[in-house]
């Protein structure tokens, strides 16, 4: 996604006893040694108190939390009573609360505020977590308790949510190796351990290789074409790095404006190639071998579990069900998109020729001439737009849409601890002004943060037994920061990203499931992007723009003439935008549909796929294999197509809003149920109920302007 959803279930609850990580804190002498990660937080709502945590706290906290989780699972295994839903499934759902807490804090910060010590801890803890997973999912006694319930599920009087949770557990255990013999279980555990370590290695390599690149400019003439705000940001970046001149990096707020505006073609080529070649350079951070090893291990795992390919294994639990179904959708979109992309390329080449450029259009020319063409065709200049899109105003616009749709309100909180000074915190209240959740906004790049944008949780929702815990949600982005007297101003893509990630946040905060494993964004992978992508539609609606798009200097509301320009240009460059996305999704799916990776060369595979699908050379895959973190360092392997699958739903759903009114109360209330149910109900059944019909794939093509 523009976003990525990481590390699912955290339930931050009051500990029954305050313990140190490794021993009971039952005296004044030991009280001083209590690990704050293992103690009850005194912060409002029990929020994590980052001011108390040291990096050295994580490993002992993990060790204690793993021991507690293992003990809780052991108690379920050794229960002599006949299996019931309460003593087996409920007990599993409530186990590991400390591990959820420690893991969610650690992994969230390791993505957004990391250091070398954190990365080392990740390497050390990954095998321990894999071993714990093996202890749970490969235990015959525990599986037999679940299977007994599963085989008798029709007679248990379960709710739909309970039935789904039980079925999920049964499938997870089978997919985790429960039906394998002892030798195979040991092998699968070893494979999972290696996969975890290789994934960490991929991510570490990518981060290091990305940060390795610096383009330092000392001759001001080479800044020709760049807006003053971009120059100022580069000047400040150089100053921070103790460098003379102007510094450009591979962080998107730095490299994308350079590709859009820099007149120096050779420098555009340099930064373009550096961006798309991350993880593929001839240095210690090269990911080619790591990728081959991951693919081999994944295929070995899939075969052991009875699937022909890893793609078949992953798709078995998705809405699309099969690689063929997902591929069919992608190919249908591709046909319309590549036709448009070729037309766009020809138009850009025509502009190059008209200016006397004696060269053929290349990838590093596309954004530059697209901006020129946008201005020529629509009199639309990004620098004319950005003053109206101050970050805080855009964020408040996203908040206000949630208020008008669902009755939510957002209260700034300065008493809730933050992990970085730039993070902002809000308490979220529902329509009756009851506490709904906590929202953290972390919007700016830093050396300790990976690139991209994503939503994650510090605390996940739970309403089971004596527990009623509301979620704590984080949006992490990498937007252009303030520079000098100029605040953080977003372009349209960044504005859509903010709304996108906030759509995920709403999904996480509004959930009303009972069981944490189906709470919030814990839904089928190709359903989750519906809620982020549909929220993007509101961002550019004229009615909404007039509420939040105010000039940062004058306070003037964005004029109708500029809104009309944005509207007319909304489908401009859609061929490029669609093909780069679909090509990456096809790359993911087809790469994981192979059966033999002995001599696999990811670079060669990319070239072969280009020829197979007729991908024009002037456009690059949105992510090349060596920097495709979604599929090698996250949960999106055989899942990048999900953006397109969900886009059919979001485009189809928003057409209903447009038909009835974008803030129609009845439609919003019906859609609210989809947000609240999490994974506790069948997604397609409930979507059909909301829409009153099957989702129409043509809606996606209409939304992207690829058909009328």
Going by the DSSP 8-state scheme, the letter that residue 284 receives in this structure is: T
Q: How far is CA 332 from CA 203, 325, 528, 653, 707, in A?
A: 32, 11, 22, 20, 12
What whole-number distance in Å separates Cα of residue 321 and Cα of residue 452?
28
55: its two tokens: 């990096």
Give one word for 664, left, alpha or beta, with left for phi > 0 and alpha for psi -120 to 50: beta
Residue whose tokens read 């996606």:
700
Phi, psi of 550 (to 5 degrees): -120, 135
The total of other beta-carbon atoms located within 10 Å of residue 515's CB is 26
What whole-number distance in Å separates Cα of residue 262 and Cα of residue 137?
54
What whole-number distance in Å separates Cα of residue 404 and Cα of residue 667?
12
Tell me if 690 sits within 8 A of 676, measured CB to CB: no
The total of other beta-carbon atoms located within 10 Å of residue 224's CB is 10
436: its two tokens: 């709904």
Residue whose tokens read 């696999």:
600
Report the candidate in 416, 526, 514 with the shortest Cα–Cα distance to residue 474: 416
What whole-number distance in Å separates Cα of residue 593 and Cα of residue 606?
14
Type and span of the H or E element at 442: strand 435-442
Report the candidate in 25, 9, 29 with the shortest Cα–Cα distance to residue 17: 25
Report the candidate in 384, 664, 385, 400 with the shortest Cα–Cα distance to residue 544: 400
Catalytic residue among 122, 501, 577, 606: 501
String of b and e for 318-331 (b: at least 16 CB within 10 Å)?
A: bbbeebeebbebbe
With a CB cutoff of 8 Å and minimum separation 6, the contacts of 99 are 62, 65, 66, 68, 69
111 is catalytic: no
Report the candidate in 469, 261, 489, 249 with the shortest Cα–Cα distance to residue 381: 261
Residues in the chain: 708
Residue whose tokens read 């940062």:
552
One-character DSSP codes across 324-383: HHHHHHHHHHHHHHHHHHHHHHHHHHHHHHHTT--S---HHHHHHHHHHHHHHHH---HH
Beta strands in 211-340 (DSSP E): 215-217, 246-248
577: its two tokens: 């935008």
User: Within a 13 Å sphere around the CA of 191, how many CA atoms are in the beta-carbon half?
Assistant: 20
Opening angle at CA 498, ends 704 and 428, nearest 5 = 130
Q: Across the strands, what pairs with 233?
A: none
Helical H runs in 78-214? 91-94, 97-112, 116-137, 140-151, 160-175, 182-212
The total of other beta-carbon atoms located within 10 Å of residue 708's CB is 5
What whole-number distance in Å separates Cα of residue 345 and Cα of residue 593?
31
The total of other beta-carbon atoms located within 10 Å of residue 646's CB is 25
3-class secondary structure, 647: helix
The total of other beta-carbon atoms located within 10 Å of residue 541's CB is 18
Burial class (CB in 10 A: 0-12, 13-18, 19+), 671: buried
For the annotated catalytic residues, the residue numbers are 501
């Amino acid at each position: 996604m523009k976003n990525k959803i990481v590390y699912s279930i955290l339930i931050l609850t009051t500990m029954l006893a305050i313990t140190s990580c490794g021993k009971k804190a039952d005296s004044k002498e030991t009280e001083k040694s209590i690990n704050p990660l293992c103690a009850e937080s005194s912060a409002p709502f029990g929020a994590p108190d980052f001011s108390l945590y040291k990096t050295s706290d994580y490993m002992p906290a993990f060790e204690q939390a793993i021991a507690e989780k293992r003990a809780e699972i052991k108690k379920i295994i050794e229960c002599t009573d006949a299996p019931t839903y309460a003593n087996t499934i409920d007990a599993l759902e409530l186990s590991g609360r400390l591990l959820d807490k420690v893991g969610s804090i650690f992994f969230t910060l390791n993505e957004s505020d990391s250091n070398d010590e954190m990365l080392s801890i990740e390497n050390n803890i990954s095998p321990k977590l894999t071993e714990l997973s093996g202890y749970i999912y490969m235990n015959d006694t525990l599986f037999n308790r679940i299977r007994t319930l599963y085989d008798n599920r029709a007679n248990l009087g379960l709710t739909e949510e309970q039935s789904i949770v039980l079925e999920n557990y049964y499938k997870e255990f089978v997919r985790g190796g429960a039906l394998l013999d002892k030798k195979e279980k040991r092998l699968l555990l070893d494979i999972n351990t290696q996969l975890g370590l290789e994934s960490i290695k991929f991510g570490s390599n990518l981060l290091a290789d990305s940060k390795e690149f610096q383009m330092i400019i000392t001759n001001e003439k080479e800044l020709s074409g760049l807006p003053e705000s971009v120059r100022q940001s580069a000047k400040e970046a150089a100053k921070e790095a103790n460098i003379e001149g102007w510094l450009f990096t591979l962080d998107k707020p730095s490299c994308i404006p350079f590709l859009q505006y820099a007149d120096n073609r050779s420098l555009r080529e340099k930064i373009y190639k550096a961006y798309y070649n991350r993880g593929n350079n001839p240095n210690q951070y090269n990911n080619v071998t790591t990728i081959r090893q991951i693919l081999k291990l994944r295929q070995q795992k899939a075969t052991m579990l009875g699937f022909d390919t890893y793609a078949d294994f992953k798709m078995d639990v998705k809405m699309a069900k099969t690689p063929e179904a997902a591929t069919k959708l992608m190919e249908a979109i591709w046909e319309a998109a590549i036709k448009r992309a070729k037309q766009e390329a020809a138009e850009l080449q025509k502009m190059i020729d008209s200016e006397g450029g004696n060269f053929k259009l290349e990838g590093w020319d596309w954004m530059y001439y697209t901006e020129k063409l946008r201005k020529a065709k629509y009199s639309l200049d990004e620098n004319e737009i950005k003053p109206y899109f101050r970050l805080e105003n855009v964020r408040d616009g996203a908040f206000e849409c949630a208020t008008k749709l669902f009755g939510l309100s957002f209260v700034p909180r300065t008493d809730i601890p933050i992990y970085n000074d730039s993070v902002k915190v809000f308490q979220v209240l529902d329509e009756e002004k009851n506490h709904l959740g906590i929202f953290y906004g972390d919007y700016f790049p830093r050396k300790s943060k990976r690139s991209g944008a994503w939503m994650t949780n510090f605390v996940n929702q739970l309403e089971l037994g004596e527990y009623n815990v509301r979620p704590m949600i984080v949006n992490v982005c990498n937007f252009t920061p303030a520079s000098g007297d100029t605040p953080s101003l977003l372009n349209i893509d960044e504005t859509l990203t903010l709304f996108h990630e906030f759509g995920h946040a709403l999904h996480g905060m509004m959930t009303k499931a009972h069981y944490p494993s189906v709470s919030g964004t814990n839904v089928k992978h190709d359903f989750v992007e519906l809620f982020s992508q549909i929220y993007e539609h509101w961002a550019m609606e004229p009615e909404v723009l007039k509420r939040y798009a105010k000039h940062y200097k004058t306070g003037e509301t964005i004029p109708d003439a500029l809104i009309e320009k944005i509207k007319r240009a909304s489908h401009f460059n859609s061929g490029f935008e669609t093909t780069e996305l679909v090509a990456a999704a096809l790359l993911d799916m087809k790469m994981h549909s192979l059966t033999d990776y002995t001599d696999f060369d990811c670079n060669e595979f990319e070239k072969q796929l280009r020829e197979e699908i007729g991908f024009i050379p002037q456009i690059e895959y949105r992510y090349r294999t060596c920097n495709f973190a979604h599929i090698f360092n996250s949960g999106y392997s055989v899942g990048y197509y999900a953006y397109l699958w969900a886009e059919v739903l979001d485009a189809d759903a928003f057409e209903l809003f447009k038909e009835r009114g974008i803030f129609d109360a009845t439609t919003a209330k019906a859609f609210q149920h989809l947000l609240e149910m999490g994974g506790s109900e069948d997604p397609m059944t409930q979507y059909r109920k909301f829409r009153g019909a099957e989702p129409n794939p043509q809606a996606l093509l209409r939304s992207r302007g690829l058909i009328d």
